[in-house]
Amino acid sequence: MIENSLASSEVAGQRALPGAAWRCAAICVFLLATTFVLLWPTTASLMVAWESSSETPYTHGYLVAALSIWLLWRDRHRLRTIPATLMLSAAVPLAAISVLWLVCVRAGIQTAHQFLLPIIVWLAICTVLGWRVAVASAFAVGYLYFAVPVWGVINGALQDATVVAVDALLRATGVPAYVEGNFVHLAAGTFEVAGGCSGLHYFIVAFAISALYGEVHRDSLRARLRIVALALVLALVTNWLRVYTIILAGYFTDMQHYLVRVDHSTYGWVVFAVMMVVFFFIVRRLPVSAAEEQTQPAPAESIALPSRWPLALATALAAIALGPIWSVLSPISPATLPQEGELLPSAAPWSAALGGGRSSWQPTFRGADVEQRGNYQRGGMLIEGYAAAYASQTQRKELIGYTNSIAGADADIVGSARIEPRGPVNELIVQDAQREQFVLWYFYRIGSLQTVNGFIAQVAYGVTSLTGSPMSTVIALRAPCGADCNAARDELQGLIRAVDL
């Protein structure tokens, strides 16, 4: 750790400067706001999530950002009493994370660069005001994570818990229903407990409110954990009751109730509001031990900022701006696209026909700059080939994307593996609408790197795009299983050895 010893000695000996009571908090707020501006691609992506329809779990984003700023400003009297020291060594990881941010942006890993934003804010505060002030402001900065779309990792677990709980409630109350997977079958119709029914939005909001409650009241860690646990349990139970009562409404009205036919979102928030009333009623009556009672500290004299804090501020801003400046000075330039036939070349003794014919296999790669199809035939074996190439990638124009599908939308995947006939290859056993099975082999190529891992492919593109213009490619081959998929594998292996892919 490298700290400015001169600044430390100044802190110990200087009197408070005019306005020192708010200057430390103002610097924190400035760094937070400036980071949002400098890292505008992340800010814009967050705004898309915050401004989406009410069905998304992050529409409270603007409020959370405002509360984060308010928390920093609210603590101005406490921050003024903490010795602020220059910690220029923190600018090194700050600059490194700024470059990592650019890699994530170019790789299209949106959740990753959004996740980095609060960390960058916190390291900037650490650089300008030192470790102690950064620790004191950690809650306010970390509060931003309630507005960052990283909570989807628990959505599946919440969805499964909702299905189990609703099934138990239906059984306990004697409602004739059959639960299969995420579907609840009634005599009059079927309900799907979809991902949006998991209660994730209620979970996040309850977590944010309970965490804020503990911070505002300066509760101890034990008290805060009790408060958060209470809020999360109430949020989960409330969502289970919400889904259960909607199913009851459908059951008793033959699926004609307003909540079934028109809207149940508003009903959910009404139930949630009632839950929060219960939460505050209970939490205000929780016993607090003497050890947990918080006493207000006596007013302390403001401590002056180090005289060289503008230098540290400029250093922090330069470190944050490293990624954005690099992006401006070295913009993404498109790679040279291959000529027709270069992605799927011919190879003796196989006869190849570019373009292919009609097929049940319809891969989807949105925004691909070049797509090629072809058929390879030898004897009675027909192998279909597909390749898609991207000269450059941007958000929603990516090699690895949620809407992309190598198997095709109408195919069922019945098996998967990773093999190495000549290099690493992903294998899928797919079944089309006619119940015919195929062996599907595919891999990704970023520049000269071949990989079967989509995440590695995207990271590789983000890294190599910093200094070059890599082309991103997916190559796939599909052979019918017929009576034996092993025979199809042998044919695929022979083709890959013959073709320079």
DSSP 114-176: HHHHHHHHHHHHHHHH-HHHHHHTHHHHHGGGGGSS-GGGGHHHHHHHHHHHHHHHHHHTT--
CA distance 454 to 404: 12
Lowest mean pLDDT among 80-94, 177-191, 218-232, 372-386: 372-386
* pLDDT over threshold 50, residue 405: yes
* pLDDT over threshold 70, residue 320: yes
Residue pLDDT, tens place only, 207-252: 999 999 999 999 999 999 999 999 999 999 999 999 999 999 999 9
Mean pLDDT estimate for the chain: 87
| Percentage with pLDDT > 90 across the chain | 62
Mean local confidence (pLDDT), 94-112: 96
- Residue scoring higher pLDDT (94 or 418): 94
One-letter identity of residue 290:
A
Q: b or e along 328-353 (b: 16 or more beta carbons within 10 Å of the residue's beta carbon)?
A: eeeebeebeebeeeebbeebeebebe
Residue pLDDT, tens place only, 9-50: 344 434 444 445 588 899 999 999 999 999 999 999 999 999
CA distance 235 to 165: 13
Mean local confidence (pLDDT), 68-74: 96
Res 348: pLDDT: 64
One-letter identity of residue 87:
M
Mean local confidence (pLDDT), 140-158: 96
Res 356: pLDDT: 59
> In which band, very low, low, confident or very high, does the pLDDT at 7 lie, cut at 50, 70 and 90?
very low
Mean local confidence (pLDDT), 97-104: 97
User: Phi, psi at residue 482, to the nearest 5°?
Assistant: 65, -130
* pLDDT over threshold 60, residue 298: no
Residue pLDDT, tens place only, 329-372: 999 889 998 876 678 877 666 666 666 567 889 999 999 999 98
> In which band, very low, low, confident or very high, does the pLDDT at 186 lie, cut at 50, 70 and 90?
very high
Res 354: pLDDT: 65
Residue pLDDT, tens place only, 251-264: 999 888 888 887 78
Mean local confidence (pLDDT), 463-492: 91
> In which band, very low, low, confident or very high, does the pLDDT at 501 lie, cut at 50, 70 and 90?
low
**Bridge-based pairing state of the strands 351-354 and 449-451:** unpaired
Find out whether 292 and 220 touch, Cβ atoms under 8 Å. Answer: yes
